[in-house]
Each structure stands twice: as C-alpha cells, then as structure tokens.
Structure 1
Amino acid sequence: MATDHRQRRDRPADRRHLPSARPGRPPAHCSRTSGWSAPSSSTPRQLSGGMRQRVSLLRTVVQGRPVMLLDEPFGALDAITRDELQQWLLEMWRRHGWTILLITHDIREAVLLSDVVHVFSPRPARILASVHVDRDIDRGADFGLDPRVPPLEAQLHAELTKGMAGA
C-alpha cells in the first residue's frame, strides 16, 4: 500500500525515536549548546541561514541514531557561524560517540572533523587515498597552529590534485 509523503510525515510512528520536547523547540540538552535562540513561533522563512543550519543539525541529532550522514553541512555559512557549529558538532560527537560520515570539499574542515579522511576520485567515485588524523590533535581554537595539521592538509591537497589530474 503506497502512501504519499504527507501521510508518512504525520504518522506518530515516524516520531517514536524523538526525545520529548515542546512542539517547535529542540530538546533542551541540544538547544543549550547549539545556539538555538529563535522563538518557537518562527517559520523557516523567518530564520537566518545560520539558524536554519542549526535547526537542520538539531533535527538530525535529536533522532538519536548512532550514525549520521552530513553532506556539506557548513558550506553555505559565514566563517564565525561555521566555526561555532563545527565546535558544537565536535562537542556533541565527544559526548555521544556517534559515527559521522561527513562529506565536504573543505580540506581544513575534513581534518578538523575527522579521524580518517577519504579522498575520492571523480565519477565513478572510488577511494584514491585515506589519510588518518591523530585524535590527539587539539580540535579547539588553536587547531590550525598544531604543527601536525599543515602536513595533513598538504597531503590531502596533493591527493586531490593528483586525483583531478588523473580524471
């Protein structure tokens, strides 16, 4: 029996994994650390791009799944909001121990948010290289100053360049 997307969205079973929260608000344990400050009466059109991205991340997080797929989650954000949300995601990752598959074209972001960075070829996609990022690297404000970061970024840049040349 086929159902359209409106019926699926409104079924209570779709919400059985969500922690309880007031309608229109994220759960308190996530909103306190995510910078959520929009009133619950706000519609998506009334939210800034950064706030929409926060809502999108919160919608993913509150599902409580052990694996998350994030496809360019910070690409359209200004630098300050991107830094804030990246740090928030790192804190949530430390706290909850999720497995996160992050798709990004930003080399610094890949190193900051990853334990392993896989470099893919152009279509048909295949893994060209895998670069391991030491978990001991401080992922805070001084991340870029760690002497282990620039060589990782250079290695990833070289692999991407080599991959594009072979396309």
Structure 2
Amino acid sequence: MARISVDVDGSRYTDEVEPRMLLVQYLRERLGKVGTVVGCDTGNCGACTVHLGGRSAKSCSVLAVQADGQQVTTVEGLARDGELHPVQAAFHDNHALQCGFCTPGMIMQSLDLLAEQPDPDDDQVREGLEGNLCRCTGYQNIVRAVRDAADRMRPGAGPEAERTAAGAQTPHPRESADSAERTGGRQG
C-alpha cells in the first residue's frame, strides 16, 4: 500500500491505496466522485477527464499515486454555491449533450482548451476536443457550447463575464433572460 495526500475539489484527502489503483477508481470508489465517468479504460474516449495540477488528464491513464501532492478538479468541483460554472451553463443552454456520458470529460477538456485559447474558432474547438469522443451527437452543439462559454468567460463582456473573470460564477441559465427567450419563455 502507498500513502497519498490529494486535494480534490478543494478538500484534502489522505489515504492508503494500492500502487496500481487508477486515479479514476480512486475518485469514484473512494471519494464518491462519480461525475468522473469510466469510459473505455484505454485513454481513448476522454469521458474520465479531470484536471490534475491545473491541466486536463485522462484519469484512467493516471495512477492515484501519481496524483500524490497534487490538486485534482472534477466536474463536481466546478459549480460554486449552487451556480453552474460558465462552461457547464453553456453546455446546458446549447443542448450540448444527449446521453450525458461524455459530458463531464468534454466540459473538463473545454476548460483546458479555453485556458489555452480564450477565443477559439470552430476548427480550434474541434481540434482541442479531438481526444474526447461523443457517440450521440454530431458535435455541432458541443462546438457551439464551447464558443458560448468563451463569450461568457471573456473579461469585459458584461457584468457576468467580469464576475467570472474575477472567480465568481455566472447566474444559472434558468435565471437569465436569454435562456427564457430561447425556451419560448419557459423557465426551467
């Protein structure tokens, strides 16, 4: 057994783990972070993508012992005070999911992409997400969601974007007027 200490979604965990335990197994089985999905177990699909030390990583390709001393962020660690992260809200508002299986990994990879390229065009989004697979969609809504998230996160794009740039969250999509407009005035 190996002893690890990891900061996951802002909480510190110290555990004894088998040296061969994968990070995805540790997150799901030990910590209950089931938003991190087990997909292919080969690193091909990207469903298990998390942030490790501030960068996206496929957690089925990383041993838990390799995360020792590092910060891990899962999709569950993005929302603050019940408010969706701008990328989560953009995926919701743009219907960028169908079954939802790939969505956590897509969101985590999108964050990494937007950190590197804050204003990507469609081709850059597609290239930035090429290691994450979706079996249900044609990717158009996913690309649209990432571009929307880029707009929401752009400094100076309005009060919501300024709060986001300062670390606060944008309002939940159900509370925004444009969301109500897109849904024909229905809320929720």
Q: Work out whether the TM-score is over 0.5.
A: no
TM-score, with structure 2 as normaliser = 0.28
**Structure with greater contact order relative to length (CA < 8 Å, sep ≥ 6):** 2
TM-score, with structure 1 as normaliser = 0.30
Bigger helix fraction: 1
User: Which structure is larger by alpha-carbon Rg, 1 or 2?
Assistant: 1
